[in-house]
Amino acid sequence: MTATGTAVLFIDLQEGFFEFPDLADNRELMVRESNWLARAARAGGHPVLVVNTVHQRDRSTWTLKMLEDGQGFNFEGSDQAEPLTGLDLRPAEVLAKTRDSAFFGTGLAERLAALGIRRLVLAGVSAESCVSATGRDAFAHDVEVVYARLAIASSDADRGWRDLENLGADFRQPILNRPDLERMLDGA
């Protein structure tokens, strides 16, 4: 554990999410920036955590929208549930989720407390859903959040970045670029 108690949390960097055209266009950037962020975290001695959405075919884990639409995805063991090709976040602790927030039903809050983590660097998809929901819940768990600008993508960029900017203003959760992230993860 580091003195700052910082960890990097990657959300939903899985093949299934990048089937959507707006996210598919960001695949290469997301892999490159996420790999950089994971390396920077490891070099600074910070834990790397991965939270993936995984559902069951029997509908037991489906959201209301999935049930209404009669369509599930990211089924356990499917290609959709696999990490993006080229992504290297190892070594990382991997948790599975079934809802937008990485805190819902995953034991993440307890894991962060056990590691002494007080600040999360959030990365992944989508800005307007899972990333922002996790940021909101982190605030409710008294965990500081910063967003890694280049390692976050959205299926609706205007809405997604507006959501994160609002969280930044409401909860003091800044959106940082590489140089600021590098300084933070170096402990400088």
* pLDDT score of 2: 37
140 found inside a domain:
yes
Q: Indicate whether 1 belongs to any domain.
A: no
Q: Is residue 128 part of a domain?
A: yes
Whether residue 112 is contained in a domain is answered as yes
Chunked mean pLDDT (size 10), the chain, 188 residues = 75 96 93 98 96 97 96 96 96 96 97 96 97 98 97 93 95 97 85
133 within domain boundaries? yes
SS3 79: helix
Closest CA to 109 of 128, 129, 137: 137
Note whether residue 136 is domain-resident. Answer: yes
Look up the CATH number of the domain holding residue 112: 3.40.50.850
pLDDT of residue 22: 87
pLDDT at 3: 38
Q: Which domain holds residue 155?
A: 6-186
Domain assignment present for 181? yes
Residue 90 included in any domain:
yes
d(CA 26, CA 67) in angstroms, rounded, equals 28
For residues 73 and 87, give the distance between their C-alpha atoms in angstroms, rounded to a whole number: 20
Note whether 56 and 76 are within 8 A (CB).
Answer: yes
**Total of domains in the chain:** 1
In what order do the strands lie in the sheet containing 175-176? 93-97, 48-53, 6-11, 119-125, 144-153, 175-176
pTM comes to: 0.95
